[in-house]
Amino acid sequence: MAGAALKAALKDGILGAVVAAALALPMLGFRLVDSASALTLATRFDWVAWAAAIVGLGRFALCLLRQSVPADRVPMMPDLGARFPKARLMVGWALAGFALVLPFLPFADRSLVDKATMVLIYVMLGWGLNIVVGLAGLLDLGFVAFYAVGAYSYALLATKLDLSFWLCLPMAGLFAASFGILLGFPVLRLRGDYLAIVTLGFGEIIRVILQNWVDFTNGPNGISGIPRPTLFGLQFTANAPEGKTTFADYFGLDFSGEHRVIFLYFVILALALLTNLFTLRIRRLPIGRAWEALREDEIACRSLGLNPTMIKLSAFATGAMFAGFAGSFFATRQGFISPESFTFIESAVILAIVVLGGMGSQIGVVLAALLLVGLPEWFRELQQYRMLAFGGTMVLIMLWKPSGLLSHRAPTIRLGKGAPS
Amino acid sequence: MLAVENLHSGYGRIQALHGVSVEVKKGEIVTLIGANGAGKTTLLMTICGSPRATKGRVLLDGQDITQLPMHKLAHLGLAHSPEGRRIFARMSVLENLQMGAVAGNPDHYDEDLDKVLTLFPRLKERINQRGGTLSGGEQQMLAIGRALMSRPRVLLLDEPSLGLAPLVVRHIFEMIKQINQEQGMTVFLVEQNAHHALKLAHRGYVLVNGRVTLTGTGAELLANPEIRAHYLEGGHGATA
């Protein structure tokens, strides 16, 4: 018995090592060295050996571990969300409270607030995509297209028509939502893999248009000099242009570049919380329930009298709208956008956030965004090993929580004992 | 109440129904029995508008509903419990029932919910549980209960006995009878389990290769030697 287990683990370990070696050979085994005269090819097979050995041993140890404990006691992270439904609510409030005071904490310097802003953009995008993928069950691989539409809407409206951020924000959401409907129509009959392929194509089409319609979007050069947002007309600059007041003057503060960073942080925090509140609220409304029912079974939906066309289009439009909001925020924060920022990898990261968070879970999205966006930012000091840490985290999640960090879905309504009023 | 006249339908070039006519009168339980692949589910789905009928008509209270899309029918009082139950697995029992009420009048919601939960006390016990964690029989109860939530005029049931243990099947059929008798619900039941279905039904139709070959009252069909030979002996009839 023990011998068989050992043999199986050994086999698994060797297989893992072979796969790792095959992958590592081209990636780690060869290196171009820039010597004085020309480029020369150097080898470092010791790295390949190390990679294979680490993966093989890891796999071997994991197999032994899994076999030595009974199946129901496999070391998996417990589903905390299911066990403590109340705690989950409290964690949500605690996170929101922490996010509110974060910029004023003693250790919060400019770069931390900046990183937190970045994470919040992805939290918001994750929550937006969660409506489409997590609630309505429509796999969308081109979500970044709506993000791009939002960003370009604001950038173009602001630079060409001189409209303010707060006016453009709802317009950007509206534009993105109409693009959501535009995408929705041709894919009404598609599901699963086919839907994913078409949405992937849609994302690329938008990016290619942005890249090539030079007259309108300035092509690959992007749009620069995008105006910064103001707080009721108060500027976040050292010196106000004529007829305007700066934030620092108005409140009698010394000018500091940090004000704007903190202001931007609060803008995205408000936008993200708005997205969250909206989602939590709409899950209890008929349209939100219809989204979830559509995810579960389309035929049953139709036989109960729900029109799948309307449900799908509204899900696409709503998700896209929030991406549009996030996009216009992104544009105003960066001050410069180009098609480069809206490549497929962005869609993939947002989708990864939703999936790792545990489809449909709001707090799960926050945790996953912290992990996938925050962690790599944190590990910038690790330089080239940054992506290794990223990959390692992904592997650990897949081992311990294959269905996502928080995959438990709480019903939106209860009857009888223990029902929240 | 529900009349199917000379209905033709199929999938692409493959024709599954060759002129089927069926009538269901108010307050009746009518069953359609047939072997695998006879076209039973196709008939129900064609009544519901998917696939579209290529010829013939479907009338609900005299109104032609042949070309209407499926989601409109529920609002006209035609509830359909599809083959394989198709409950919303990750949603709770209560949420499932709520979805059933989409086509109903919101003023009746509490009353209808109460009615369904009295009819199926098991659902009441499991009201906050996820649909997917229910047993097969409970899921079937949920599927029927969900269809009843819209207060339909006609209830279409597609193989409610599918994959259930004999005892559970008996219970489900008992419930269908009760719904018919107490609420006066008109039921069109498509079944492979001919014995139970014919015993329950006022009238029955036999579908073979997309054509109705026999029709009569439930008792008549049950006594018919041809039916005994094809659908009952050695099958469900021998054990039940």
Q: What residue segments make up the domains of chain B, in order of their start?
A: 2-77+153-239, 88-150
Tally the residues of chain A.
421
The region that residue B157 occupies, defined by phi over 0 for left and psi between -120 and 50 for alpha, beta otherwise, is: beta
Q: Let me know: does A50 contact A65? Beta carbons within 8 Å.
A: no
Q: Let me know: does B97 contact B162? Beta carbons within 8 Å.
A: no
Quote the strand ranges of A270-345, DSSP E.
336-337
The region that residue B61 occupies, defined by phi over 0 for left and psi between -120 and 50 for alpha, beta otherwise, is: left
Q: Let me know: does B8 contact B17? Beta carbons within 8 Å.
A: yes
Q: Do B103 and A301 touch (CB under 8 A)?
A: no
Q: Is the dihedral of CA A19, A20, A26, A29 positive or negative?
A: negative
Q: Let me know: does A183 contact A145? Beta carbons within 8 Å.
A: yes
Q: Which residues pair with B187 in a beta bridge?
A: B29, B155
Any CB–CB contact under 8 A between A41 and chain B?
no
- What's the CA gap between A70 and A166, in Å, rounded? 58
Higher pLDDT, B208 or A27: B208
* 3-state secondary structure labels for all residues of A74-107: CCCCCCHHHHCHHHHHHHHHHHHHHHHHHHHCCC
Residue B46 CB-density burial (10 A; 0-12 exposed, 13-18 middle, 19+ buried): buried
Q: Which helix (H) or strand (E) holds A401?
A: none
Inter-CA distances, A176 with A78, A275, A316, Å: 39, 15, 10
Number of A:B CB contacts under 8 A? 92
Any CB–CB contact under 8 A between A403 and chain B?
no
Q: Tell whether the model's pLDDT for residue B238 goes beyond 50.
A: no
- What's the CA gap between B232 and A333, in Å, rounded? 74
Task: List the single residue in B73, B91, B127 with the smallest CB-CB distance to A415.
Answer: B127
Query: A20: which 2 tokens?
Result: 């790792």
Written as one string, the DSSP assignment of chain B is -EEEEEEEEEETTEEEEEEEEEEE-TT-EEEEEE-TTSSHHHHHHHHTTSSPPSEEEEEETTEE-TTS-HHHHGGGTEEEE-TT----TTSBHHHHHHHHGGGS-GGGHHHHHHHHHHH-HHHHHTTTSBGGGS-HHHHHHHHHHHHHTT--SEEEEE-TTTT--HHHHHHHHHHHHHHHHHH--EEEEEES-HHHHHHH-SEEEEEETTEEEEEEEHHHHHH-HHHIIIIIIIIIHHH-
Report the half-sphere exposure of A299 (CA within 13 A, side-chain side): 15
Shortest distance between the Cα of B124 and any Cα of chain A, in A, equals 9
Interacting residues of A157 by C-beta distance below 8 A, sequence separation 6+: A163, A168, A171, A172
Written as one string, the DSSP assignment of A224-244 is E-PPPP-BTTBB-SSSPPTT-
What is the band of B15 on the pLDDT scale with cuts at 50, 70, 90? very high
The single-letter code of the amino acid at A276 is N
Q: Do B80 and A303 touch (CB under 8 A)?
A: yes
3-class state of residue A41 by DSSP = strand
Residue B165 phi/psi, 5-degree rounding, is -70, 150
Q: Which helix (H) or strand (E) holds A250?
A: helix A247-250
Structure ipTM: 0.88
Which of A102, A274, A264, A269 is CA-nearest to residue A173? A274
Q: Let me know: does B168 contact B136? Beta carbons within 8 Å.
A: yes
Report domain extents, chain A: 2-73, 85-400
Shortest distance between the Cα of A72 and any Cα of chain B, in A, equals 18
Q: Tell whether the model's pLDDT for residue B183 goes beyond 50.
A: yes
Task: List the single residue in A303, A413, A416 with the smallest CB-CB distance to B74.
Answer: A303
Q: Which chain B residues contact residue A409 at CB under 8 A?
A: 90, 130
> pLDDT tens digit string along B114-161?
999 999 999 999 999 999 999 999 999 999 999 999 999 999 999 999
Residue whose tokens read 């098609």: A339
Which value, in Å, is the radius of gyration of the alpha carbons in chain B? Answer: 17
Residue whose tokens read 């307050």: B27
- What's the CA gap between A33 and A42, in Å, rounded? 6
Q: What is the DSSP letter of A181?
A: H
The single-letter code of the amino acid at A50 is W
Q: Do B150 and A286 touch (CB under 8 A)?
A: no
Which of B25, B19, B67, B62 is CA-nearest to residue B47? B67
Q: What is the pLDDT of residue A1?
A: 55
Q: Is the dihedral of CA B195, B201, B203, B209 positive or negative?
A: negative
Q: What is the pLDDT of residue A407?
A: 66
Query: B230: which 2 tokens?
Result: 């094809």
What is the average per-residue pLDDT within B34-62?
Answer: 91
Inter-CA distances, A391 with A57, A119, A254, A281, Å: 18, 18, 44, 35
- What's the CA gap between A409 and A79, in Å, rounded? 11
Q: Which residues pair with B19 in a beta bridge?
A: none
Any CB–CB contact under 8 A between B95 and chain A?
yes
Residue B91 CB neighbour total at 10 angstroms = 25
Mutate to test the interface with B, among A294, A304, A309 (most CBs of B within 10 A): A304
3-class state of residue A34 by DSSP = strand
Q: Which residues pair with B216 in a beta bridge?
A: B204
**CA triple A213-A215-A218, angle to 5 deg:** 75
Regions of chain A where pLDDT drops below 70: 1-2, 68-86, 382-383, 386, 404, 406-408, 416-421
Q: Tell whether the model's pLDDT for residue B205 goes beyond 80.
A: yes
Which of A272, A273, A308, A274 is CA-nearest to residue A291? A308
What is the average per-residue pLDDT within B214-226?
Answer: 91
CATH number of the domain located at residue range(s) B2-77+153-239 in this protein: 3.40.50.300
Which of A173, A125, A126, A184 is CA-nearest to residue A150? A173
Residue whose tokens read 């209960």: B145
Q: Is the dihedral of CA A131, A134, A135, A140 positive or negative?
A: positive
Mutate to test the interface with B, among A79, A188, A294, A303 (most CBs of B within 10 A): A303
